[in-house]
Amino acid sequence: MAEKVLMIALSPTMDSGLIARWHKGEGDRVEIGDVICEVETDKATMDYESTQEGVILKQLVKEGEKAGIGDTIAIIGEPGEDISALLDDDRPLSGAGLSETVHETMDSLKGTARDSETAIDQGSGKAGEIEGGRRIKASPLARRLAEEGGIPLDRIKGSGPDGRIVKADVEAYSAGLDNDTHMPAVDKAPAMQTVAKKPFDRQAAVDKAGVMPADKVRYVPVTGKRNIIASRLSESMYSAPHYYLTVSVVADNLIETRRHLNESTGSKVSYNALLIKYVAEALKRHPMVNASWLGDRIALFTSADIGLAVAQPDGLITPVVRDCGNKGILAIENELKDLIEKARNNSLLPEEYQGAGFTISNLGSYGIEQFTAIINPPASAILAVGAMKRTPVVDDDGQIAVKTIMKLTLSCDHRVIDGAVGAAFLKNLKDIIEDPLSALY
C-alpha cells in the first residue's frame, strides 16, 4: 500500500529542511535503511534514510526546495498503485512549520482545486473568499499576514500559480515594493502608511526615503541556518545578562610552546588546540564557569566540552571537542582538524556541534585585536581571542620591552557567573598561557 514519506526533524532546532540532493528517483526501488536524499538542515547536510520499502512513485519536493517538519516529500508504494487519494489529502501537515515553498509545490500538483471552494476547509478557511467583487486567490499564510496588516487583498497582484497571492506578495506590498519586481517603489510608500498596521520596518523606511534606489540594492533570502543563528543569538543576548572582562596576555611563551611542540613532534599544532587545552585546565579550577542556567537550577558540567566557532559561507557553527581536560594537545588537534573539515563540508552530526559547555571564538587571524562575543547556549561563557601583536610594554623592572600581546575578552552570563568568579577564571587562564607549568600546581 502506498505511503507518504514525511520530512522528519534531523536536528533538535530544525523546523524545515531543504532537499539538497535526491539519491533515489521516481521509479527507483527503495529498501529500509537506504539513503533516499540529502537534507540541508539549519546546521548541516544530513542523510535521510528510508523507513519504508517499495518504489518511489512520486517526488513532491524538488532539489533546492524546502519542506516543513511533517510535510510529504515523496510517496512510496508498488508500481501501478493509485496515489491520487494521497495527493488530494488536504489534512493539515505541519502547522506553523509548513513552509510556503511546499504549499506552492503541493498547489501545482493539485491544480486549481485548492483555490476553489474545496480549499475553504484549509488554513484560515477563506482561501476562495470574494473581495471587491472578484474572487481572491491567496494562500492561508498570505491572507493571515494581510489581515494582520490591514491590507485589502484586492490591491495586491499575486505572483503564484494562476495569479495566487503568496506571502512574498503581501510583504512586498507592505514594504512599498513594486508588485511585479518586488523591488523598491517609492511612490507606493505613502499609501501604505494609512493602511499597514506593522511595527517600524527599517529596510522599508530606507527604501521609501530613496536612499536605496532599485539599481543599487540586491536582496538575498534568509537561509534556514541564518534564521537559526539570528534566533538563538538574539535569545541569548536578550535573555542572558552579559558582562565582559578583558585581559592583555603576554603570548611569547605560547608562541615558543607551539614552536617547540611542532619541532619535537613533526606535526603542526594550531594555537586553537593549545588554547582549548589551557581553557580546559582553567575550567577544572573554576567549575562554575563550565555551567548552564536552567531557570530553577544550574547545571555544572563534569566534562570540559569546548566548542570552537568556525565560519561557513552562510553562517557559522561550533564543532565541539569533548572531554578536553583528559586529552593531550595532540589528541585535541587531531580531533579539531576532523571537526573543522566536516564543518566546512556541512557534514557535522548533531552530537558534534551541540552541547558545548564553553566556547572559543578566535578572530586573531583576521587582525582583530579585541572584540566581544555573544554567549552560545547552553554555555554561560565564551572567550573572544584577539590577534597577537608586538607591543612596547613596561616590564616588572620598569624598563620598556617589546613583547607579543594578545587580548582575551570573556563574555559571562551574570545569572551563573559572578564578576569575581569570571575574573578569577580569566586571571588563571592568563597565568597558564604565560607559564604553562602553572597548570601543574
Beta strands in 227-286 (DSSP E): 242-250
Say how far apart CA 401 and CA 327 lie, in whole Å: 36
Q: State yes or no: is 418 an active-site residue.
A: yes
What count of residues does the chain have?
Answer: 441
Evaluate the omega torsion of the peptide bond into residue 313 and state whether it is cis, within 30 degrees of 0. Answer: no
Q: Are 109 and 60 in contact (CB under 8 A)?
A: yes
Selecting among 47, 180, 418, 435, the annotated active-site residue is 418
123 Ramachandran zone, left/alpha/beta (phi>0; psi -120 to 50) = left
Selecting among 23, 182, 242, 414, the annotated active-site residue is 414
The secondary structure of 72-101 as a DSSP string is EEEEEE-TT---HHHHT--S--SGGG--HH
**Among candidates 18, 22, 26, which has minimal Cα distance to 2?**
26
Q: Which amino acid is at 435?
A: D
For residues 42-59, one letter each, b for 16 or more C-beta atoms within 10 angstroms of the residue's C-beta and e for the rest, the string is bbbbbebebebebbbbbb
Cell digits of residue 143: 491572507
Cα–Cα distances in angstroms (integers) from residue 335 to residues 148, 301, 308, 358, in the given order: 50, 21, 12, 17
Q: State yes or no: is 314 an active-site residue.
A: no
Say how far apart CA 285 and CA 427 lie, in whole Å: 12
**Among candidates 1, 20, 19, which has minimal Cα distance to 73?**
19
Q: Are 119 and 127 in contact (CB under 8 A)?
A: yes
Q: Which helix (H) or strand (E) holds 202?
A: helix 202-208
Say whether 424 sits in a helix, a strand or coil: helix
Say how far apart CA 155 and CA 82 lie, in whole Å: 41
- Which residues are the active-site residues? 414, 418
